[in-house]
Amino acid sequence: MRTKPPPGTTYLYLVRHGATPANEQRPYILQGDGIDLGLSPSGKRQAAEVGQFLSGFPLDHIYCSPMIRARETAAAIAGHHGKDIVPVEDLVECCVGMWEGLDWETIQERNPEEARLFHENPAENPYFGGESYGDTLRRVRPIFDELLAKHRGESIAIVAHNVVNRVYLASLLGLETRRAKDLRQQNACVNLISHDERTTSLVTMNSVFHLSEQPL
């Protein structure tokens, strides 16, 4: 999609932010809307690589979550297009409540029943003290819908987060929200979405071919 979309169509390049130290540590810790880390050195490289990749696409507007990791990734994209980034408050990552900063082994030890319920159906059962996947989808889908309708005939990029992206992509695929956890969103991946007056279609999901170090 290296050309502008047809009149009446919007192209959306939906990106997950580059890696942070919390993403990379082992075991990794949950990083919702409460830990606002910047990118790690490898995350900055990923942001530069996705920025270089998208430099060949005619982006008209660049939106992002206001969290540091998303803004830094968006800035790496925007620099190639001479555009300002536009943070959108409600695109923050899912609130993981009392599990913020914890790894899953610790969570299982502290809150085994809440963890079991969450894993069985995250669409209805929230992170302990936080949001469910259903809550997150209800928060972010109106934003995506609004921006897709607003920018007919244009291409836009949105830099968001793992759970935010997964629940929205699941809705486009017609999957139950509980199954969003099965969709992969690697750091600095690109998803391409096409929208016109009749339909919103997922064209490409979790593309990482532009990254020099391919995730497993």
User: Could you give the residue numbers annotated as active site?
Assistant: 17, 93
Q: b/e string for 25-52 if b means 16 or more Cβ within 10 A?
A: eeeebbbbbbbebebbebbbbbbbbbbe
Show the 3-state SS of the chain.
Answer: CCCCCCCCCEEEEEEECCCCHHHHCCCCCCCCCCCCCCCCHHHHHHHHHHHHHHCCCCCCEEEECCCHHHHHHHHHHHCCCCCCEEECHHHCCCCCHHHCCCCHHHHHHHCHHHHHHHHHCCCCCCCCCCCCHHHHHHHHHHHHHHHHHHCCCCEEEEEECHHHHHHHHHHHCCCCHHHHHHCCCCCCCEEEEEECCCCEEEEEEEECCCCCCCCC
Amino acid at 180: A
Q: Closest Cα partner for 213 from 49, 13, 5, 25?
A: 49
